[in-house]
């Protein structure tokens, strides 16, 4: 499909009750583009990623991922909710990496990586297992296949989580503060895997506090605050010469 690997949003709005958490969000993410979302806690970066993964339903606006309206079908008068199976099918093409890893604790690293292909796509176990081992090797965890999450460090768990998402061959990868729960000395190993993924041309949306990563890897940096996109552009522009006062104030504090 020609929309593969793209994310498109116009006037996206999301609220919890009376509290508007995302408003007037416009996004244009091209295939292979690396977008870093930065901003203070509660600025809406996580919620935006959760909307793009379909974990949260948006109230209003257009949201197309991989060229398809996410979770809904546009008719002449409304957006009609898709069936469970169709939503699940859309989700298999979007990978999500969580701040708290969310590995399945009852499964080994290999079983975690196999879980998508085997339990969702009904791939043969032997095939999925060898693919899982290759993926684990690619994130630097060769030989860790039989380890349970509790036997691994946070950085290792997060890399398994990345491999688990990749096993579904997604067109878009979402990272929700993937290194925020890690010990400082473990952050680098996860960022290295993400960098490798970026070099392979994966479309990535990354909510992060790692300004170094954003500067080095991102094509576009988006600064969010209070549910709005305040400023976006090339990393050198947004991080180097921010135009908005709010962005300047934020960067002064974190850099």
Partner 1 sequence: MTFTSDPVRADPSGSDTQQDAATKPRVHSRGVLEYVAWAACALLALGVVHTLFANENYQWSIVTQYLTASTVLRGLVMTIVLTILSMTFGTLIALLLAVLRVSPLRPLRILAGAYITFFRGTPVLVQLIFWFNIAALYPHLAIGIPFTGLSHDINVNKLISATTAAVIGLSLNQAAYQAEIIRGGFASVDKGQIEAADSLGMSRMTKLRRVIIPQAMPTIVPATGNQFIGMFKETSLVSVLGVGELLQSVQLIYARTYQTIPLLIVACVWYLVMTIALSYPQAMIEKKFSRTRARVSNEPGLAPAQDGLMGGEAR
CB of 28: closest distance to partner 1 in angstroms? 23
- Candidate segments 63-71, 134-142, 148-156, 237-245, binder of partner 1 by CB under 8 A: 148-156
Nearest to 157 by CA among 116, 100, 82, 241: 100
CB of 236: closest distance to partner 1 in angstroms? 32
Site for partner 1 in 210-229 (CB under 8 A): none
178/165 Cα distance (integer angstroms): 13
Give the nearer residue to partner 1 in terms of CB position, either 36 or 96: 96
CB 189 within 8 A of CB 140: yes
Asked if 146 interacts with partner 1 (CB under 8 A), we say yes
129: how many CB neighbours lie within 10 A of its CB?
18
Question: C-alpha angle with apex 104: 96 to 69, nearest 5 degrees?
Answer: 30
Q: Which residues contact 17 (CB under 8 A, 6 or more apart)?
A: none
Give the nearer residue to partner 1 in terms of CB position, either 11 or 105: 105
Asked if 178 interacts with partner 1 (CB under 8 A), we say no
First to last CA, the chain: 41
221/237 Cα distance (integer angstroms): 9
Read off φ and ψ for residue 148, nearest 5 degrees.
Answer: -85, 155
Site string for partner 1, 39-78 (x = CB under 8 A): --------------xxx-----------------------
Asked if 124 interacts with partner 1 (CB under 8 A), we say no
Binding residues for partner 1 (CB under 8 A): 53-55, 84-85, 88-92, 94-96, 98, 100-106, 115-116, 119-120, 144, 146-154, 157, 161, 164-165, 168, 181-183, 186
């Amino acid at each position: 499909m020609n929309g593969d690997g793209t994310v498109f949003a116009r006037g996206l709005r999301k609220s919890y009750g009376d509290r508007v958490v995302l408003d007037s969000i416009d996004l244009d993410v091209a295939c292979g583009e690396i977008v870093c979302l930065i901003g203070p806690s509660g600025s809406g970066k996580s919620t935006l990623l959760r909307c793009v993964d379909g974990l949260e339903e948006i109230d209003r606006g257009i949201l197309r991922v991989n060229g398809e309206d996410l979770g809904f079908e546009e008719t002449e008068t409304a957006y009609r909710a898709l069936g469970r199976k169709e939503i699940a099918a859309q989700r298999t093409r979007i990978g999500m990496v969580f701040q708290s890893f969310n590995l399945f604790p009852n499964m080994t690293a290999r079983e975690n990586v196999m879980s998508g292909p085997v339990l969702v796509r009904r791939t043969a176990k032997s095939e999925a297992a060898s693919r899982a081992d290759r993926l684990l090797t690619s994130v630097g965890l060769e030989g860790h296949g039989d380890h349970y999450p509790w036997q691994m460090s946070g950085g290792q768990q997060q890399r398994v989580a990345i491999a688990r998402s990749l096993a579904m061959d997604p067109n878009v990868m979402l990272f929700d503060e993937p290194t925020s729960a890690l010990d400082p000395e473990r952050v680098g190993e996860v960022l290295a895997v993400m960098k490798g993924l970026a070099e392979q041309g994966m479309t990535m949306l990354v909510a992060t506090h790692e300004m170094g990563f954003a500067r080095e890897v991102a094509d576009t940096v988006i600064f969010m605050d209070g549910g709005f996109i305040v400023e976006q552009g090339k990393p050198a522009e947004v991080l180097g010469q921010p135009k908005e006062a709010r962005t300047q104030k934020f960067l002064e504090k974190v850099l």
